[in-house]
Amino acid sequence: MKIITYGNKNNKSIFFIHGLASTADLCFKLLLPYLQDYFVIFCELDGHYGSKPKDLTSMEETIDSIENYILNEMGGSLYGLCGFSMGATIAVELIGRGNISISKVLLDAAITAELGLMAMPFTYAFIVGTSRIKNKKPIPKFLLDKIMGKDNLSIIEMMYPQISKNTIKNACNFIYHYKVPENLTKFSSPVMFWRGSEEPIPAKSEKILREYLPQMKIEVFEGMGHGQFLHEHPKEYAEKLKIFLENK
């Protein structure tokens, strides 16, 4: 794991966790010009940075490392926690553990719905899809539309080409079989859930999370697929994020 920080440490902190087969920069760097009043922390997960990344082998150990950073380097407290896709699943696990203090949480397209028998074909589709993108081959449009949202090219543009098959397998095994911790009901700070209207799995995740987080507010972006609002509208994304962070 690698941590990159921007801005003054005395400002309110926002900790960002990126999605699977992407990077902190590809997901969030376009937000930086609009977040200069914050201490911004990018978490780069194993298997997702450098020209020859080491595989992400254990999501549990990865989450332990993030938690330890927050406990040891941030005094156990963050102002904002923002996760996209797999990063949002990690955020759910962090707040469910109850070991760190967080004032505001943004979950962008969290994946917290157990896929059961569909986990294997989804994992296979992810591996094949990333391999085809890496080799500059087209992905069947019906498949991309079904999983990522209609006409969503953002997810291709946000992909980290050095991702390995092992990293994808290990991450998918965690997120596609994820079970929300019962302790999540104890988290009482404000939570915002964002998703596009064309995202089937996050829509299921939203319903599950509402049972644990009654205070969670939801915004659905019409016509948007996975990562599309984040990638195509960074200024609006950052402005909405700031409104959420600063509203009492």
- Domain tally, the chain: 1
pLDDT of residue 146: 62
pLDDT value of position 160 = 93
Q: Which pLDDT score is estimated for 246? A: 96
Angle at 25 between CA 241 and CA 7, to 5 degrees: 65
pTM for this prediction: 0.95
pLDDT of 136 reads 79
Structural domain harbouring 75: 2-246
The per-residue pLDDT for 142 is 66
CATH of the domain at 192: 3.40.50.1820
pLDDT value of position 134: 80
The rounded average pLDDT for each run of 10 residues, N- to C-terminus, in the chain (248 residues) is: 97 98 97 98 96 93 98 98 99 98 98 95 88 80 66 82 95 97 98 96 97 98 94 98 93
